[in-house]
Structure 1
Amino acid sequence: MCKIKIKTVLFLTVLEIVLVTTAAFKETCEFDREMEEQCRIHNYKTVKPLLDYFRQVRNELEHKEIKESKSNELNSDLREKHHEIVRIHEKFMKEAALLDEYKNKVLKGEDDLQTCQNKVHKFEPEINSKQNIIVKLKEELADKSSHFENCELQFKNLNSSLIEKDEKIKRFSENIQDITEHQKTLELKLEKSESKLIKQDKDIQLCQSEIDTLNRTSENIREEQKRIELQLKDSQTKLIDKVKENQLCRVEVNTLNKSLPNTIIPSSCSPFGDSPGVHQLNVSGIGLFDVLCDSQLAGPGWIVIQQRVGGHENFNRDWATYRKGFGSLESDFFLGLEKIHRITSLRRHELYIHLVDVDEHVYFFRYDDFKISDEDSGYALSLGKYNGSIIENRLRDYDNIKFSTFDRYNNFFTRLCQNWQRSGWWYHSCIYCNLNAPYGLRLKWHVKKKVQLKEAKMLIRPTEAMKK
């Protein structure tokens, strides 16, 4: 900075001399106008070095200012680095303190470990002696277990017979559902007999536990074995008596079914009028079974044959399950192909399809002559004339198509569509209409565009009910 000030003073001094010299030359030149041109040349030659020097000084001043600004920036960076180094140092000191604390903990843990090792060495002889005792006991148990093999085989046979009896009881309970109050009384008797069988099963389990106890003891083995065999024989005789009692109940139920007149229970929901809910129908070839009647979506008298309202049921079922029907009438269900065939073969029925998408938009499709063929014909679909809330009638492509499942392919599209849709349906196309598709993203219906459904129902009723 001092050098710059000195150069500035020198520059001002020289500039003042130049100005004085220039003024002197001007006075001289006024007397001689002929020398004016020479004066100008002389002035230029005199002032030019000074001007060059002035430019040089100005450039040096600018260069010095740039260097000073850079120096200030470097100083600020150095201060920031210094602060950062201080912070790192403080962090390092904290970590060093933590490291010392961890070292102390490790030393303490080593001391504890050494103490534990001393204790282990102290108890090793006692452990070895106990292991020898355990080995001897295992050998004794192995010898004793050979005496009870025959008894275990008898228990296995008894358990298998109990399983067979349970299966027979389940089939029996399925066959006597949906009957009159007297039949329900018989079901109560069967349930009591089942509870007795369960009690007998518990008794057998107690016998098994007693055998396990005998495996761990060595006193009175033969007498205990005889007592258990007597209990098993007693249980077997009681089971035989209960099975005979169940058979008698079944015969009584079959007799009652034959004695009940078929005209008492209707074959459609029309007689129930505006009383929706679960009712019992009696259809020729099927007998008695429960259905869900609906009188709110499209008037009275509708039978709900398929319903998707929550995704609580798996619709990827085999042919036998679709033939029989599955699900809960209070949630998702499929009534059954054989039931639908028998109902629609009695008289002419109309079909009503009710759909609600995820945006709460409602659609309906109606056909005036719905039926499906028998099992030998693949339960082929027949629709009749169409009437609905939109122009597109995509289900028409499925007319006269046979029903298919993953274990029975009845048309060309079944393998391709079933692997993607994973459900039983009248497959003609995989993308337009399948109300049995997995609940969620795949449950769609083509209405100008594919819409995702959150609710779907298929309902049927006799056509004469619509005329009334």
Structure 2
Amino acid sequence: MAAQCLLLLACVLVLAAAGHSIHIQTLNIFKKSPSNTLASALKKTSWPKDCSEVSAGSPSGIYIIQPTGLHPIVVYCEMNVTDGGWTVIQRNWQSTEITWAESWSTYKYGFGNLHTKYWLGTEYIHQISKQKVYQVRFVIWDAANNIRFADYNLFSLEDESHGYQQRLGTYWGTAEDAMDSDDPRNVHNNMKFSSKDRDQDTYRGNCASHSGGGWWYSVCYSVRLNVRGGITWGSLCNGNCKASAILIKPALYH
């Protein structure tokens, strides 16, 4: 039976390598049935804790990781940018078919297609980020399809009981510092995550309900990446960004 389970896992990896659509929910069965045989077989295998532990020289693509204390999950690893090892936690296109107007529980465990547009899951992002000291890179394709980035040398998410509050470090990059601001109406640093059914912003209404998707809102945003159309990054592209991605990896210096 264990051999059959490992064969099933091998099929998942072959499909991923062949470019087929493998959805994030593929391994959620481990969370729901941790005692099943496939989960037991996987527990006997040593998986990288994040994409930084994937072997150097490996291609970008879909990998299985197992953050400390969590079941194995499927992620997309970006191995070709700035020495590689980036775990991609979000990707969106202006022309996406995903509505992004999802519930708290859907954002918690993730949705979408790892090959195209998706949200990894706030719980999984938290579990990864608590392992080490992490940095984050926000990649923005502006209205002219130029690639810009905003790096923050520290990144973490608090647990669900603290609202998945986001904490960012010092900015550096070619896009403006749109995630942090002295204006409390536009700040996203130190904000809790909000969804259409869980309002944790500082606005009198629900930013997630009328702004299109879950995010670390204040009153309401200068950055809006989890949205169908209308991708925004400060004054760089106000609703007409072409695409976005969010990548994390262990910080080099801390």
The equivalent of 2:233 in structure 1 is: 445
Deviation, 1:452, is 1.2
Number of residue pairs matched?
220
Task: Give the one of 135, 144, 151 matched to 1:350.
Answer: 135
Task: Give the one of 298, 319, 325 matched to 2:104.
Answer: 319
Alpha-carbon distance in structure 1 between the residues aligned to 2:39 and 2:85: 30
SS in 2 for 1:340: helix
Q: Which amino acid aligns with 1:292?
A: Y
SS in 2 for 1:428: coil
Q: Which amino acid aligns with 1:306?
A: Q
Q: Does the 8 A contact of 1:417 with 1:430 survive in 2?
A: yes
Task: Give the one of 387, 390, 415 matched to 2:205.
Answer: 415
Q: Which amino acid aligns with 1:269?
A: C
Q: Which amino acid aligns with 1:278?
A: I
Would you say 1:268 and 2:50 are equivalent positions? Answer: yes
Equivalent runs, 1:83-162 vs 2, <5 Å: none
Alpha-carbon distance in structure 2 between the residues aligned to 1:332 and 1:291: 12
Q: Which amino acid aligns with 1:430?
A: C
Q: Which amino acid aligns with 2:127?
A: R
Alpha-carbon distance in structure 2 between the residues aligned to 1:255 and 1:389: 45
Q: Which amino acid aligns with 1:322?
A: Y
Alpha carbons of structure 1 residues 181 and 446: separation in structure 2 relative to 1, 3 Å: farther
Would you say 1:339 and 2:124 are equivalent positions? Answer: yes
Q: Does the 8 A contact of 1:312 with 1:331 survive in 2?
A: no
SS in 1 for 2:241: strand
Alpha-carbon distance in structure 2 between the residues aligned to 1:272 and 1:386: 28
Q: Which amino acid aligns with 1:301?
A: G
The equivalent of 1:306 in structure 2 is: 90
Alpha-carbon distance in structure 2 between the residues aligned to 1:451 and 1:402: 22
Equivalent runs, 1:59-74 vs 2, <5 Å: none
Alpha-carbon distance in structure 1 between the residues aligned to 2:243 and 2:156: 23
SS in 1 for 2:208: helix
Q: Which amino acid aligns with 2:108?
A: R
SS in 2 for 1:461: strand
SS in 2 for 1:354: strand
Alpha carbons of structure 1 residues 389 and 353: separation in structure 2 relative to 1, 3 Å: same
Q: Which amino acid aligns with 1:368?
A: N
- Which entry has the higher C-alpha Rg, 1 or 2? 1
Q: Which amino acid aligns with 1:288?
A: P
Alpha carbons of structure 1 residues 404 and 257: separation in structure 2 relative to 1, 3 Å: same
> Which structure is higher in RCO with an 8 Å CA cutoff and minimum separation 6?
2
Alpha-carbon distance in structure 2 between the residues aligned to 1:362 and 1:444: 14
Would you say 1:293 and 2:77 are equivalent positions? Answer: yes
Alpha carbons of structure 1 residues 287 and 187: separation in structure 2 relative to 1, 3 Å: closer
Q: Which amino acid aligns with 2:76?
A: L
Alpha carbons of structure 1 residues 449 and 266: separation in structure 2 relative to 1, 3 Å: closer
Q: Does the 8 A contact of 1:319 with 1:407 survive in 2?
A: yes
Q: Does the 8 A contact of 2:138 with 2:247 survive in 1?
A: yes
Alpha carbons of structure 1 residues 254 and 370: separation in structure 2 relative to 1, 3 Å: closer
SS in 2 for 1:305: strand
Q: Does the 8 A contact of 2:225 with 2:232 survive in 1?
A: yes
Alpha carbons of structure 1 residues 384 and 181: separation in structure 2 relative to 1, 3 Å: farther
Deviation, 1:449, is 6.3
Q: Does the 8 A contact of 1:338 with 1:374 survive in 2?
A: yes
Deviation, 1:411, is 2.6
- Structure 1: segments with no counterpart, 5+ residues: 1-179, 189-249
Deviation, 1:299, is 3.0
1:194-218 CA deviation, whole Å, 9 max, x = no partner?
Answer: xxxxxxxxxxxxxxxxxxxxxxxxx
Q: Does the 8 A contact of 2:201 with 2:220 survive in 1?
A: no
Identity of aligned residues (%): 27
SS in 2 for 1:359: coil
Alpha-carbon distance in structure 1 between the residues aligned to 2:226 and 2:201: 17
Q: Which amino acid aligns with 1:296?
A: N
Deviation, 1:296, is 2.8
The equivalent of 2:22 in structure 1 is: none
Higher mean C-alpha deviation, range 326-335 or range 264-273: 264-273
CA RMSD of aligned residues (A): 2.5
Q: Which amino acid aligns with 1:401?
A: M
Equivalent runs, 1:172-321 vs 2, <5 Å: 182-185=4-7, 251-258=36-43, 260-261=44-45, 264-270=46-52, 271-274=54-57, 275-309=59-93, 310-321=95-106
1:416-457 CA deviation, whole Å, 9 max, x = no partner?
Answer: 422321211101133410110222xx2222135636111100
Alpha carbons of structure 1 residues 286 and 388: separation in structure 2 relative to 1, 3 Å: same
Deviation, 1:398, is 1.1
Alpha-carbon distance in structure 1 between the residues aligned to 2:199 and 2:206: 10
Q: Which has the higher strand share?
A: 2
Q: Does the 8 A contact of 1:370 with 1:384 survive in 2?
A: yes
Alpha carbons of structure 1 residues 322 and 181: separation in structure 2 relative to 1, 3 Å: farther
Q: Does the 8 A contact of 1:445 with 1:452 survive in 2?
A: no
